[in-house]
Structure 1
Amino acid sequence: MYTPVDWDIESIRRYGLNDTEDCRSGWVYDTSQQKSTLVTEFDLVCNRKEQTDICQSIYMLGILIGSVIFGPLGDRIGRRPVILISILLMFSFGFGAAFVEDFYVFMVLRCLVGFATAGILINNLVLVAEWVGPSQRAYATITGHVCFAVGLMVLAGMGYALRNWRLLQIACSAPSALLVFYIWLLPESPRWLLAKGKNEKAKELLQKAAHMNKRVLSEDVLQQLQEEKQTKSGNMIDLFRTPTLRKHTLIMCLVWFVNALVYYGLSLSVGNFGFDIYLTQLIFGAVEIPARLGSMFSVQFFGRKLSQAIYLLLGGTACLIIIAIPEKLSIVITVLAVIGKFATASSYSVCYIYAAELFPTVIRQNGVGLCSMTSRLAGIMAPLISILEKYHPAIPMAVYGSGPIIGGLLCFFLPETQGRDLQDHTFEDNDIPRSNGLPKSQLLSDSQTLHEGPDEKSTRL
């Protein structure tokens, strides 16, 4: 409130008396539309207003920490146990956050929810990539991304129906408890089992998969699996040991970083559609569905490298064009921003597939985890870049536009991975081309017979 408080507002403005002090009588909120929110319950207004953005950054920090920990852990103990542990943690901390009485405790629990979420996102991606064949890998991965977009739309409906933040928190966390059934349904990666020397378990899972898909694995193939030697897991240092791996790692980290920076940056900046918050959330989710589906087909027709580069260049160009559009043309700015978000969401789907195929099996979790870590850093930075708008309106969009263009151009220095066997060892990346038909490579190449037609031989793996 203005000081002195006994002056009328007209006099305060006339004489430029802009000194303020904390409100003495507390706050009164409009609860006609929203009964209870974090803002109204914990008084996140005035000098505490920025804590809403800090809470979002804390959540992203949790995902960052989870990416660092759960990436290597998945390589050491397996994809399946890490996913199961992460599901339990996400449910426990998310459900508990609905009952806190202190905002700082809420932020800690949200950080832990982000921590668990990272374990699910990373290991789910890798597990899918290591189970399906090269021809189906893109479809399987991006189908999960489409479900993510549907979740954003469902969230809008749940928020509209439940106008109490505690009930909304419970409703969003409770479905995680249903995933306890994964303990019986979720299989381990046979590729990881083979790399760790657990051949019998890998053979058992592959036989079960072949039986479900009405295929037959020959005894010769099973015997070859038995003779496979145990492979020692790598670490993040191995990502930088050879020049080729080092180049791939640095470029993919940059691609993930600019993707996340623009994705979250536009999500924060594009909210002024003139609609209420629930309809805006619905639009954000709806835009991502065609974006994800479009990327599913583009990676099949144009390949991973070209699709990644085109989406990045399109998203960056749309952001840069916004700088030249007058502010009064709000509809044009909004359309361009939606195009930018469309391209970024598509690029995000592609980079998940690309990263999973680019890194060798023994360090795939480490590679994806490192890329995810850089994207979380971008998620933390995105709100800070938006604050730079107070210095000049063009600064945020200049950053959001230039980053993807640089990343898109660097994508042309990466190899194409479409239709190729997943790489298993780091030494294969040291100027030695990936095998694409050798018996040993076929043995570890995503169980291709599980997807072959009835006229094709069923003795190949």
Structure 2
Amino acid sequence: MADFGEVLRNIGEFGLFQQINLFALCFPSIIQSFAVASLLFVEFDPERHCNTDWILSAGPNLTTEEQLNLTLPREEDGSFSRCQMFVPVDWDIDAIRENGLNETTRCLNGWVYGNMLYEATIVTDFDLVCGRGNMVQVLQTVFMAGMVLGFLIFGPAAESFGRKRAIQIPTVMLLVFTVTTAQCPNVYLYLVSQFLVGVGAGGYRVNCIVLTTEWIGASKRSWGVGVAQLFGAIGQCVLAGLIYGVRKWRLAQLISATPLVLTVVYIWFIPESARWLLNRGRTEEAKKLIIKAAAINKRPIPDSLLEEIKVTNTVNDGGIKLIFGSRLLARYFFIVSLAWFSLNLSIYSLYFDMASLGLSIFVTQLLFGVFEVPALLLSMWLLEILGRKILFTAVLLIGGLWSMLILAVPESKPLGLVRKISISILFSTSKFLFFCSPSGYAIASTCLAVASRVCMIFMASVCAVYMQELFPTSVRQSATALGSMAGRAGSIVAPLLNVLSVYHWAIPISILSSFTIISGALGLLLPETRNKELPETASDAEGNRSKTTLRSISQSNRPQHGTSTRL
């Protein structure tokens, strides 16, 4: 019998068929970077004051300065209040000037915003200021919760209805609700719409990675994850330019939906996973796709090989219980899931808080994307050269160290002795001495944040590849979905973790760094899976640590004719 790995070696492990499939499935990853645009490019505390145009009915010729003096109380520093106004009265303008106004209230008619970096954001359109200032973090968390639900729904659904169907539905959802989000008249409809965008984004992401991976041979398997991440990094760069040129969040949202129209058209022609079809006993459909792939790759395929294809019907193989029924697989799942949680906690905590790093948000966004591209290209190469285990451990430990060193760079206070030593260790050459000046703190923090984020993006590829290679076909999609859910749980916690900075600015960095370093240390307990076939059964997965060796031993110890073996 021939397993699917042998079939791929005959028809081409990474031929034109796989390349077209990979590009088509990864293209929407560019657009998915835009899904958080309206949540990211905001001004949390813009310059503002209450709208007090009510007084213009009494004094239509008032100057702006007179209007503000008569209708707004002042803070202790002498500036006008940003969240309070005097209670409107039905007096003429002379009476107001003579007696003045003393009773204050909250802003009754909205706010007037000034000195804005953007023309319109969700903060200004929905007045997410003063008592509603923390609503932005809630919206960020709701979007991430939507992605988790997408993993939960479409991950297991792909085991029953196929990878292809579990990609098509989320793609349509992404298009519909990305457009809907741009039209929302209030924050509550925006919250619901953005939640559904998250569901679509989560469902698509978890399934496109598995579908691409299951068509690629062992020698290039990391490309299935790496290219998806690479397209996402390119999307980060494009996003910075888009928001810089388009300062209105609604228009930016509509522009980001345009490429999804193309995706919705061609997504119906994406081939199903032949591995999944064989796993479900649908041999004839799988053979047709294999013949098609061989034709596109211009590789002949013997009829005898098609007849000998191994069918592993594991439809009733225990489902997700298979993972937790094995102590070894449960351990693997816990370690990779914890790492996925930690890296997403780090990525999004730094990402959503990039405005506090000190540099222009556009520059920081561009740096995040630009440095991810070479990091992902390097990860695709090193995964095949060095393997999974050493990268899993080393990159998490290094990334945790980078983020922890941010603690050595205060925002405005002079450096103490310990912080000076930390900076001098990190930047030992004289050209970085300017970091010791207050103006250099922003550059130092941004460099460290970018370095940490690059490591975490690198690690996202390793975790996704590990999830494909550690678990059998019957639960591979579910394991990937649950692992992705753990990752998104980190992204849900990230905005809430940033809120703890009101107690001390070092709390979020300390927590996320600790999680990352612990996850890296646990990576030593994982097996190496480089250049090994994807496991088809639970026994294959449990023996993944030394799969090749076990096969050779079992063959050499097989009883010969005329002999007997006593147990």
Coarse TM-score class (shorter-chain normalised): 0.7 to 0.9
Deviation, structure 1 residue 6: 8.1
Corresponding residue number in structure 1 for 2:97: none
Q: 2:177 aligns with which of 93, 112, 127?
A: 93
**Alpha-carbon displacement from aligned partner over 1:308-331 (angstroms, at most 9, x marks no partner):** 111100011112222234444413
1:341 aligns with 2:453: yes
Q: Which amino acid aligns with 1:135?
A: S
Deviates more, 1:331-340 or 1:253-262: 331-340
Q: 1:332 aligns with which of 423, 440, 444?
A: 444
Matches within 5 A, 1:189-268: 189-225=273-309, 228-232=311-315, 234-268=318-352
CA contact (8 A) 1:129 1:357 kept: no
Corresponding residue number in structure 2 for 1:410: 522
Corresponding residue number in structure 1 for 2:533: 421
Deviation, structure 1 residue 396: 1.1
1:392 aligns with 2:504: yes
Q: Distance in 1 between matches of 2:507 and 2:120?
A: 35
1:181 aligns with 2:265: yes
**Alpha-carbon displacement from aligned partner over 1:289-339 (angstroms, at most 9, x marks no partner):** 122112112212210111111110001111222223444441333322221
CA contact (8 A) 2:529 2:544 kept: no
* Other structure's SS at 1:271 match: helix
Q: Distance in 2 between matches of 1:95 and 1:68?
A: 24
Q: 2:404 aligns with which of 320, 325, 331?
A: 320
Deviates more, 1:425-434 or 1:366-375: 425-434
Q: Which amino acid aligns with 1:407?
A: S
Q: 2:466 aligns with which of 347, 354, 360?
A: 354
Deviation, structure 1 residue 144: 1.6
Q: Distance in 2 between matches of 1:162 and 1:332?
A: 29
Deviation, structure 1 residue 437: 10
Deviation, structure 1 residue 29: 1.2
Q: Distance in 1 between matches of 2:245 and 2:77?
A: 45
Q: Distance in 1 between matches of 2:268 and 2:472?
A: 28
Q: 1:298 aligns with which of 356, 363, 382?
A: 382
CA contact (8 A) 1:270 1:338 kept: no
CA contact (8 A) 2:312 2:536 kept: no
Q: Which amino acid aligns with 1:380?
A: I
Corresponding residue number in structure 2 for 1:42: 126
Is there any run of 5+ residues in structure 1 with no aligned partner, and where? 440-461
Q: 1:380 aligns with which of 492, 500, 503?
A: 492
Corresponding residue number in structure 2 for 1:459: none
**Alpha-carbon displacement from aligned partner over 1:200-245 (angstroms, at most 9, x marks no partner):** 11111111111111211112211112x6252215422221001111
Q: Distance in 2 between matches of 1:421 and 1:432?
A: 9
CA contact (8 A) 1:421 1:436 kept: no
* Other structure's SS at 2:166 match: helix
* Other structure's SS at 2:535 match: coil
Deviation, structure 1 residue 261: 0.5
Deviation, structure 1 residue 436: 4.6
Q: Distance in 2 between matches of 1:97 and 1:200?
A: 43
Q: 2:203 aligns with which of 114, 119, 124?
A: 119
Corresponding residue number in structure 1 for 2:561: none
1:152 aligns with 2:236: yes
TM score, norm. by length of structure 1:
0.88
**Alpha-carbon displacement from aligned partner over 1:113-146 (angstroms, at most 9, x marks no partner):** 1001111100111011100111111123211211
* Largest Rg, 1 or 2: 2
Deviates more, 1:348-357 or 1:26-35: 26-35
Corresponding residue number in structure 2 for 1:129: 213
1:172 aligns with 2:284: no
Give the 3 Å change call, closer, same or farther, for CA 85–313 of structure 1 in structure 2.
Answer: same
Give the 3 Å change call, closer, same or farther, for CA 213–11 of structure 1 in structure 2.
Answer: closer
* Other structure's SS at 1:28 match: strand
Deviates more, 1:131-140 or 1:110-119: 131-140
CA contact (8 A) 1:72 1:235 kept: no
Deviation, structure 1 residue 276: 3.3
Identity over aligned pairs, percent: 36
Two-structure CA RMSD over aligned residues (Å): 2.6
CA contact (8 A) 2:367 2:450 kept: no
* Other structure's SS at 1:29 match: strand
Deviation, structure 1 residue 360: 1.0
* Other structure's SS at 1:419 match: coil
Give the 3 Å change call, closer, same or farther, for CA 228–398 of structure 1 in structure 2.
Answer: same
Deviation, structure 1 residue 421: 0.1
CA contact (8 A) 1:243 1:430 kept: no
Q: 1:28 aligns with which of 101, 112, 126?
A: 112
Q: Distance in 2 between matches of 1:280 and 1:343?
A: 16
Q: Which amino acid aligns with 1:265?
A: S
Q: Which amino acid aligns with 2:395?
A: Y
Q: Which amino acid aligns with 2:253?
A: Q
Q: Distance in 1 between matches of 2:74 and 2:312?
A: 84
Is there any run of 5+ residues in structure 2 with no aligned partner, and where? 1-48, 51-70, 85-102, 413-435, 552-567
Q: Distance in 1 between matches of 2:402 and 2:408?
A: 11
**Alpha-carbon displacement from aligned partner over 1:145-177 (angstroms, at most 9, x marks no partner):** 111011111112222222222211111122111
* Other structure's SS at 1:216 match: coil
Q: Distance in 2 between matches of 1:95 and 1:160?
A: 20
Q: Distance in 2 between matches of 1:11 and 1:297?
A: 57
CA contact (8 A) 1:244 1:429 kept: no
Corresponding residue number in structure 2 for 1:363: 475
Deviates more, 1:188-197 or 1:131-140: 131-140
